[in-house]
Structure 1
Amino acid sequence: MRRSALLAAFTAFVALIATFGVRLNDADAAPTTFAHPGVLVSRAQLDFVKGRVNAGAQPWTAAFNQMTASRYASLSRTAKPRAVVECGSYSNPNNGCTDEREDAIAAYTDALAWYLTGNAAYAQKAIALMDAWSATITSHTNSNAPLQTGWAGSVWPRAAEIIKHTYGNWPNQGRFATMLRNVYLPVVIVGSSSNGNWELSMMEAAVGISVFLEDRASYDRAITRFKARAAAYLYIPADGSQPKYPPVGSVDTPSELINYWQGQSTFVAGLSQETCRDFTHTGYGISAISHIAETTRIQGEDLWPSVQERTRQALGFHTKFENGTAVPSSICGGSVVKGFGPVTEVAYNALAGRLGIAMTNTQQYTEARRPQGTNNLFVAWETLTHAGNPA
């Protein structure tokens, strides 16, 4: 009897939700209304940066000058689109791979330059680059195709969001949306069982594309996979005696997990699945985590609280060694391959800046390398966009 009454009450509640469009508070769910521009950087963040640059303040002015002096900001740049981009392991073969990534970074660079200067020539150049690719590309092939699609697919929506929602005069934006929907999204949304940085970059692309397309179903799917992969990529003691198993693939025994973690069998806070491979690929993964978390914050479904401990520990762990601390024998046999890259600004600003978390190692690393530029893959100009940005 009691169960029947409870069931009836629950059914009525569900009907009420359906009738009035009420949403339960689900941190994994897409926002009811997407915020634009809303991939990695918001309008409020861009306005803050514009004010700092106009005032000649540092480090933003140095970062702005670095960006506008780069080849990516050249107004004489000519797009190099291909119908089929073929990318093998370690860029062999490299048939359009560098061209695609760098044209995407150039479009994002031009979009930022447009917003910060008001010079419409930058907006028109960003549009020309995006139009050239949307009129041409049909697919990515060879072994690195998923990663390439993830890298380029992470950057295109950043540029497109700024241009569409702050410039507006873009006749072919519908064709660009079709490109993202048909060429990029089907590849990245399925994820990968390779090293974790692959799937994290692919989910970054899927989230950004979903925001641009206002595709709530794809956004939800990407966020669900992202949370599982991020938890399996960065270890914290709360996970237990070993890291979590990856969300896809055949790794499901302790010995397979150790092998997947590059032979590392001692797990300490902040260790990454790729730490003992090298810090560069680890940086890719951590960067993608920070980019996704930042986008969800802009969209009003903030995932920083769910990843802050893993991200804080991982940044502190890796920057400690980048800053000169000796690597103990228990970590990667006492030898690591450094080269973390320009990947700390977004998370450092979110965690230390907005949340007030002490991050001494990360602060030292970040401030010593300002302005952080681009890795020529999918990270670009994050001292400019995120250093000390309270918005």
Structure 2
Amino acid sequence: MKQLFLIVVCTLGLGHCVMGQSPVFAHPGLLHSAADLQRMKAAVAARRSPIYEGYKVFENSPFSKWAYQPKGPLAMVGRNPTVGQTDYDSDANAAYQNAVMWAMTGDQRYAQTAIRIVDAWSNTLQSITGKDAILMAGLGPFKMVNAAEILRYTNAGWSTAAVTRTEQHFLKVIYPVLAEFAPFANGNWDDAALKTVMAIGIFCNDREIFEKAVRYYVDGWGNGSLTHYIINDYGQVQETGRDQAHTQLGIGMLAECCEMAWHQGLDLYGYADNRLLKGFEYTAKYNLGDNDIAYTPMLDRTGKYAHSKPSELARGNLRAVYEQVYNHYVHRRGLAAPFTQAAADKLRPEGPGLPGADHPGYGTLFFSIDPVQVGNSGDVNATAIPAGLVLAAVPSASRLTWVGLHGVASYVIKRATQRKGPYVTIGTSENTTFYDSTAKKGTIYYYTVSGVQTAPSLPVAMAAGGLPLQWQNTGGTAQYDGSTFKVEAGGTFTDTAAAGFNYTYRPLAKRDELVMQVLPQPSSQFTTVGIMIRADTSFAAFMLYPGKTKEIEAPGWKLQLFQRLPVPVTGQQLLQAPAVTYGRLTGTYWIKVTRAGTTIRGFGSYDGITWNQIASLQWPAGKPSQIGVAAASNIDNTTTVRFRLP
């Protein structure tokens, strides 16, 4: 449900404004708004410190020269093995920095250089390959999208046809690599995907993609979502025990998401009681040499990375990520950030975001705000709508939370029983949480949130109580949104069916069939998930199982029968591409279990159409039984599994 708004887009190159329609986004609206670019331009012209000093560092970069000679384009780039990574990242840096130079100087030569680079790659690049393809697609392309956003909305002379080709390039070549994020890895992978998905959503005016990114930021199941990456109120980061380079990379990319969201009217910076600031303060304090930090030994969401103390690796090597966060929390919001401020002071003027295209860098130029001029810093967005809606079943209610709009103090909550409505107002809230205690258990409801004078958010849905009627859950949590089940499971699963795994089930009929589509990717690389039939202590389960290999990063995934029955039955199928690549469940996989009288059969499929029988067995007639989805993390943490029952 897309709303169209009439907005004003200021074209800095010619110094006038044009009118146009936009589907709820402000443009330019990635790292830099129109007001931001104008603020930088005015400060440089007036040689105002510290922005002018930041500009001189930026101007002297070889990537900021209109005479830059492109390294590409290439039809394929990749990472691990490396194919053209340095060439792409260099060109992405140059496209972005030339676009910024154009916006600040009005010199058409910068615009022409940036356009030439963006057009060349969008016309040529066809595939992104390698075990680390997500990092390849999430880092350099973020700068390419930012370059395109500036060029498109500053009257740079970029043709409509070229803009359309670039949109399709981002949607068809870059986005598919990032669409499921990276829950199998350390959190900085997730965050590289997250920021570029968000940027593509804004540039392509695709509210669904943008919303997907915001919801993953606040409620994602991988290491990179906000509260999984900054794991507690002390500010400890998931990668603090790994090394300080990746820790700063990850929190820096979360901050970039916040700045884009801010330009769309959303206070993502303030989410979870300013959790991002806590992560920056903790990290800056440690990297400035202070050992007085609390640390909780932790196992990450994948089950692969356990750390018992903060890492000394790369400690003290401050990355160019602090000016942005310091200026937001201190100058925009008036909060204290002493360690972030000290790190920013030490780096000022910030230089490039090394290595490669990891960060935008140059924060002194890009983000320095005079507290007296905060009102002119691009904070106002009349097209903003709430985002990041999350539903959870709590005792006697459905709890709805969302990312609020900065400057909005009251929200209206509406509900419907169909996605398209009609929506009826069920309450208001003075904060970003609402409890609905009037929903009928088992009924699927759709919710929207709006500011008092804003359009409604995209809807979010859940069955009241969490699950449809006849379905139950033990050993964890489970909820259904009308399309997808999402379960949070701990425990273990072996052929003894040890207690503790998650089971979401309904009664088993004499003639029955259950088909599940396992969606990519579970957060634990040790997850077991599949269809189980159970009665008392007897069970038969057709489960996706990560068999052990010599490489912890690449388990041998298989569909395997587990059972506790009088007569042993065996059967398994090794999974291959497209369901599994590099040992990761990167594609969907289907499991089907049927019952006809006393015969149980289990099947696997790569497409839900062509089925391969794994095994069959006999099940006692007349015995009350259940059928459902079993899941276990098999680690000392929980796992998130998503699936559909077509």
With the length of structure 2 as denominator, give the TM-score of the two structures. Answer: 0.49
Counterpart of 1:296 in structure 2 is 261
Alignment root-mean-square deviation, CA: 2.2
Matches within 5 A, 1:193-212: 193=183, 194-212=185-203
Counterpart of 2:290 in structure 1 is 325
* CA deviation after TM superposition for structure 1 residue 137, in Å: 0.4
Q: 1:168 to 1:144 in 2, by over 3 A?
A: same
Decide whether the 8 Å contact of 1:270 with 1:317 is kept in 2.
Answer: yes
Counterpart of 1:379 in structure 2 is 359
Unaligned runs of 5+ in 2: 6-21, 220-224, 297-307, 378-646
How far, CA to CA, are the matches of 1:121 and 1:184 in structure 2?
A: 27
Counterpart of 1:309 in structure 2 is 274
- 2:173 pairs with 1:189: no
Q: Secondary structure at the match of 1:94?
A: coil
Identity %: 30
Q: 1:329 to 1:114 in 2, by over 3 A?
A: closer
* CA deviation after TM superposition for structure 1 residue 83, in Å: 0.8
Unaligned runs of 5+ in 1: 1-17, 23-30, 238-268
* CA deviation after TM superposition for structure 1 residue 155, in Å: 1.3
Q: 1:177 aligns with which of 167, 171, 180?
A: 167
Counterpart of 1:358 in structure 2 is 336
How far, CA to CA, are the matches of 1:102 and 1:387 in structure 2?
A: 25
- 2:139 pairs with 1:151: yes
Q: 1:349 to 1:212 in 2, by over 3 A?
A: same
Q: 1:181 to 1:114 in 2, by over 3 A?
A: same
Describe the superposition over 1:95-122 as per-residue Cα deviations: whole angstroms up to 9, x where unpaired: 2111112211111100110011111100
Counterpart of 2:28 in structure 1 is 37
* CA deviation after TM superposition for structure 1 residue 327, in Å: 6.0
* CA deviation after TM superposition for structure 1 residue 335, in Å: 4.6
* CA deviation after TM superposition for structure 1 residue 308, in Å: 5.6
Q: 1:118 to 1:273 in 2, by over 3 A?
A: same
Describe the superposition over 1:194-224 as per-residue Cα deviations: whole angstroms up to 9, x where unpaired: 1111111101000101101001111111111
Decide whether the 8 Å contact of 2:282 with 2:293 is kept in 1.
Answer: no
Counterpart of 2:38 in structure 1 is 47
Decide whether the 8 Å contact of 1:296 with 1:302 is kept in 2.
Answer: yes
Task: Choose between structure 1 and 2 for higher RCO, CA contacts under 8 A separated by at least 6 residues.
Answer: 1
How far, CA to CA, are the matches of 1:43 and 1:117 in structure 2?
A: 14
Count of aligned residue pairs for this structure pair = 331
How far, CA to CA, are the matches of 1:185 and 1:32 in structure 2?
A: 19
Q: 1:388 aligns with which of 346, 369, 372?
A: 369
Q: 2:126 aligns with which of 106, 115, 138?
A: 138
Q: 1:315 to 1:182 in 2, by over 3 A?
A: same
How far, CA to CA, are the matches of 2:177 and 2:87 in structure 1?
A: 19
- 2:333 pairs with 1:342: no
One-letter identity of the residue aligned with 2:226: A
* CA deviation after TM superposition for structure 1 residue 349, in Å: 1.3
How far, CA to CA, are the matches of 1:235 and 1:46 in structure 2?
A: 34
Q: 2:77 aligns with which of 73, 85, 88?
A: 85
How far, CA to CA, are the matches of 1:116 and 1:334 in structure 2?
A: 42
* CA deviation after TM superposition for structure 1 residue 334, in Å: 6.1
* CA deviation after TM superposition for structure 1 residue 161, in Å: 0.9
How far, CA to CA, are the matches of 1:287 and 1:189 in structure 2?
A: 20
Task: List structure 1 runs of 4+ shifted beyond 6 angstroms.
Answer: none
How far, CA to CA, are the matches of 2:148 and 2:134 in structure 1?
A: 21
Higher strand share: 2
With the length of structure 1 as denominator, give the TM-score of the two structures. Answer: 0.80
* CA deviation after TM superposition for structure 1 residue 226, in Å: 1.5
Instruction: After superposing the two structures, state which structure 1 stretch, 204-213 or 147-156, moved more.
Output: 147-156
Q: 1:236 aligns with which of 206, 216, 232?
A: 232
How far, CA to CA, are the matches of 2:358 and 2:49 in structure 1?
A: 24
Counterpart of 1:246 in structure 2 is none
How far, CA to CA, are the matches of 1:189 and 1:133 in structure 2?
A: 20
Describe the superposition over 1:81-102 as per-residue Cα deviations: whole angstroms up to 9, x where unpaired: 21110211xxxx3321111122
